[in-house]
């Protein structure tokens, strides 16, 4: 059943009525954005479309821009942009060729969110390269937001995705080397991630986002990170802006990072200020061991302004705007 049909049916059975009643009962002024200016100022349409992504992924942003220039919407752009990295076997943090968990299984997390606030996600998905596309199907073709594990895989196969072995020779070799010492704690390589989070604004000024990853290398079996968790790894509010995260997912989840960034923008902060504040929330926690891990955020607001910030050096954002596809080094917190 299509999502729209499900909602229609739900309202006939009374679910919609309950939602309607609760809306009637609420104080309308309280649900308005604190800073109305942020809501109403739209990006200079001459500078649209715009794409940003985590890390150095120019081929992915180029693909997304191609979709946007051809008149595609932001949702198509972020999906197709992310698919480039998923198919890239050299990228060992995403899709095919992703590094496995400690038992040798490649498990993928991904999500996607559109201009209406609809979202879909898959967690612990195995044997399907294009996790972001499965997430989109969850959003568009099921009444759910999130599917996990075997259920997600069966849904993907029944939707026409071909199952395949995602563990490449290179990733298998790296895993076998890791097994020699098999350190319990996954080591975060703070300089060379390629988990991809992407945000786009199309010619109409509408925003969408997506995120896809194989998660931490050599994680425990069953581990799920921030990337498929709406509000943590990704959040889009088409009236305000969007944010996507990368790095140690556990720390992002604990602060609901991407939702936090969007809410800070709603209160009037620029994307840069909002990313900095969200990183501050992590590093200023009592007993934070932030020296041992990386987190990075990128964000865009409705005006088309962008920002990025991380805990440590070497996080970067790829940005494609005004015909320029460039890698921009992020400012960072830990300068000691
Ligand atoms: C996770 N946030 O699974 C992901 C990993 C990541 O670049 O972003 N790596 O925790």
CA dihedral sign of residues 210, 329, 264, 193: positive
pLDDT 10s digits, 242-265: 999 999 999 999 999 999 999 999
Element (H, E) at 283: helix 271-283
Give the per-residue pLDDT at 328: 97
Residue 195 annotated as catalytic: yes
Distance in Å, CA 252 to ligand 1 centroid: 9
Residue 288 CA, chain-centre distance (Å), reads 24
Question: Which residue's alpha carbon is at the smallest distance from atom 10 of ligand 1?
Answer: 249
For the chain, residues with pLDDT lower than 50 are: 1-39, 190-192
pLDDT 10s digits, 152-168: 999 999 999 999 988 88
Distance in Å, CA 179 to ligand 1 centroid: 21
Residue whose tokens read 């934070």:
288
Ligand 1 near 213 CB (within 6 A): yes
Give the per-residue pLDDT at 34: 41
Element (H, E) at 76: helix 74-87
CA 252 to ligand 1: nearest atom: 2
User: What is the token pair recorded at 9?
Assistant: 């049916």
Give the per-residue pLDDT at 113: 98
Residue whose tokens read 């979202």:
119
Contact criterion met (CB below 8 Å) for 208 and 112: yes
**Order of strands across the sheet that contains 316-321:** 146-148, 119-125, 108-113, 207-213, 196-201, 50-54, 316-321, 324-329
Residue whose tokens read 């990313």:
275
pLDDT 10s digits, 10-50: 333 333 323 332 322 333 333 444 444 444 567 777 789 99
Contact criterion met (CB below 8 Å) for 325 and 62: yes
Q: Which residue ranges form the domains of the chain, and what is each CATH number?
A: 3-332 (3.60.20.30)
Distance in Å, CA 175 to ligand 1 centroid: 17
Cα separation, 111 vs 122, whole angstroms: 6
- The per-residue pLDDT of the chain, averaged, comes to 86
Give the per-residue pLDDT at 15: 32
CA 197 to ligand 1: nearest atom: 8
Question: Which residue's alpha carbon is at the smallest distance from atom 8 of ligand 1?
Answer: 246
Distance in Å, CA 158 to ligand 1 centroid: 28
CA 103 → CA 148, 182, 220, distances in Å? 18, 11, 8
Element (H, E) at 74: helix 74-87
Query: Which residue in the list 54, 195, 255, 306 is annotated as catalytic?
Result: 195
Give the per-residue pLDDT at 191: 44
CA 193 to ligand 1: nearest atom: 7
């Amino acid at each position: 059943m299509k999502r729209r049909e499900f909602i229609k049916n739900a309202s006939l059975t009374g679910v919609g009525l309950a939602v309607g009643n609760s809306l009637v009962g609420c104080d309308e002024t309280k649900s308005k954005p604190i800073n109305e200016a942020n809501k109403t100022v739209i990006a200079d349409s001459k500078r649209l479309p715009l794409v940003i992504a985590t890390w150095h992924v120019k081929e992915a942003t180029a693909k997304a821009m191609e979709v946007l220039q051809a008149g595609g919407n932001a949702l198509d752009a972020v999906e197709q942009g992310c698919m480039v990295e998923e198919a890239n076997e050299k990228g060992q943090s995403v899709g095919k060729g992703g590094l496995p968990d400690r038992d040798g299984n490649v498990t993928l997390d991904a999500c996607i969110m559109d201009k209406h606030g609809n979202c879909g996600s898959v967690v612990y998905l195995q044997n399907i390269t294009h996790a972001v596309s499965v997430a989109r199907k969850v959003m568009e073709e099921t009444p759910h937001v999130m599917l996990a594990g075997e259920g997600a895989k069966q849904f993907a196969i029944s939707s026409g995705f071909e199952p395949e072995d995602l563990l490449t020779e290179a990733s298998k070799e790296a895993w076998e080397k890791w097994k020699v010492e098999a350190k319990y704690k996954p080591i975060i390589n703070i300089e060379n991630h390629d988990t991809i989070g992407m945000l786009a604004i199309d010619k109409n000024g509408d925003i969408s986002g997506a995120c896809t990853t194989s998660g931490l290398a050599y994680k425990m079996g069953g581990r799920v990170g921030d990337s498929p968790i709406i509000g943590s790894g990704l959040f889009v509010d088409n009236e305000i802006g969007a944010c996507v995260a990368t790095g140690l997912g556990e720390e992002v989840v604990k602060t609901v990072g991407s939702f936090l960034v969007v809410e800070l923008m709603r209160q009037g902060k620029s994307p840069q200020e909002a990313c900095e504040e969200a990183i501050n929330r992590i590093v200023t926690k009592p007993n934070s061991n932030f020296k041992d891990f990386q987190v990075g955020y990128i964000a865009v607001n409705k005006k088309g302004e962008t920002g990025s910030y991380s805990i440590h050096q070497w996080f970067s954002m790829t940005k494609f705007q005004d015909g320029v596809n460039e890698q921009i080094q992020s400012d960072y917190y830990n300068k000691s």
